[in-house]
Amino acid sequence: MRFIFAFVVFGNICISTAVAADCACATTGVNVRDGAGTTHNILTTLATGKCLPFKGQRQNVAGDSWVNVDYNGQNGWMHEGYVHIRPCTGSSASSAVQLPGCPHIVTRQEWGARAAKFWSGNLPSTPTYMFIHHGASGFCHTKAECTHMVKSYQDHHMDANGWPDIGYSFVVGEDGNVYEARGWDEIGAHTLNYNSVGLAICVIGDFTNRVPNDAALNAVKQLIRCAHDNHKITNGYTLRGHRDVFNTACPGDKLYELIRTWPHY
């Protein structure tokens, strides 16, 4: 937990006391802007349940209260009607994505995600599908390399495909990390006709001729277990490769052969 320190003076003695810092947590999808008021630029859209550090300042604009937050080191503002101010918990301000039993998830703020063009809305119900993709790209084996690849995926999806954000729910690298993309609750753009009923994990690389390394495979398996145990997918979920529902080579021949041996396929 993050703390701020308040200094209280009793006589000539100054005592430092740790006070838990507050976070602003979204009660629905809410825009984070670079100034108070709807005329300012959108930095990102915070999904329901996700939090940012509250900087303690409020500003009234046209009768509405806006709260000052820290977005990846930038000065951000959110409409107070769509957030709840509460003590921060967990290892980071965006800890809502890091559920019990999950592998380490690198948040969007941590990998430097671009702000989404707009928020696509929450999944209408608990997803019944878990889809496995590959990026059909180069490989990565360090956090720095994988961060670069995730950014390239987001750039391609937003700039070439014209989507509002990176399409996957999560991206996994052969560094063993999971990278937050759309996350647990937002509708993705990954599997045509199934975006509103499924989550999607993309493994960085091209797995036509080999399977991912153990670090990546273990992260994928643990993420699926975590989703199941935290009710982010249904108990009787169906596991599929992208090619099962669309004319594509994704997720690569070797990875596809492997996931066909996994539970729920």
- Map 16-55 to HEC letters: EEEEECEEEEECCCEEEECCCCCCCCEEEEECCCCEEEEE
> For residues 200 and 131, is the Cβ–Cβ distance under 8 A?
yes
Distance between CA atoms of residues 154 and 166, nearest Å: 4
Domain boundaries, the chain: 22-87, 98-259
Per-residue confidence (pLDDT) for residue 251, from 0 to 100? 98
Q: What pLDDT, on the 0 to 100 scale, is given for residue 5?
A: 42
Asked if 199 contacts 131 with a C-beta cutoff of 8 angstroms, the reply is: yes
Whether this model's pTM surpasses 0.85: no
Query: Quick one: pLDDT at residue 89?
Result: 59
| SS3 at position 134 | strand
Provide the H-helix boundaries in 66-199. Answer: 108-111, 143-155
Q: Name the superfamily (CATH) of residues 98-259.
A: Peptidoglycan recognition protein-like (3.40.80.10)
What is the pairing mode between strands 83-87 and 22-26? antiparallel
Report the topology of domain 22-87: SH3 type barrels. (2.30.30)
The DSSP annotation for 202-254 comes to EESS--SSSPPPHHHHHHHHHHHHHHHHTTSS-TT-EEEEGGGTSSS-TT-HH
Q: In the beta sheet, which residues pair with residue 52?
A: 24
pLDDT by residue for the chain (265 residues), tens only, comes to: 344 444 433 343 333 333 347 888 888 788 999 999 999 999 888 877 788 889 999 999 998 999 999 887 789 999 998 888 887 754 334 446 888 899 999 999 899 998 888 888 889 999 999 999 999 999 999 999 999 999 999 999 999 999 999 999 999 999 999 999 999 989 999 999 999 999 999 999 999 999 999 999 999 999 999 999 999 999 999 999 999 999 999 999 999 999 999 999 9
pLDDT at 6: 41
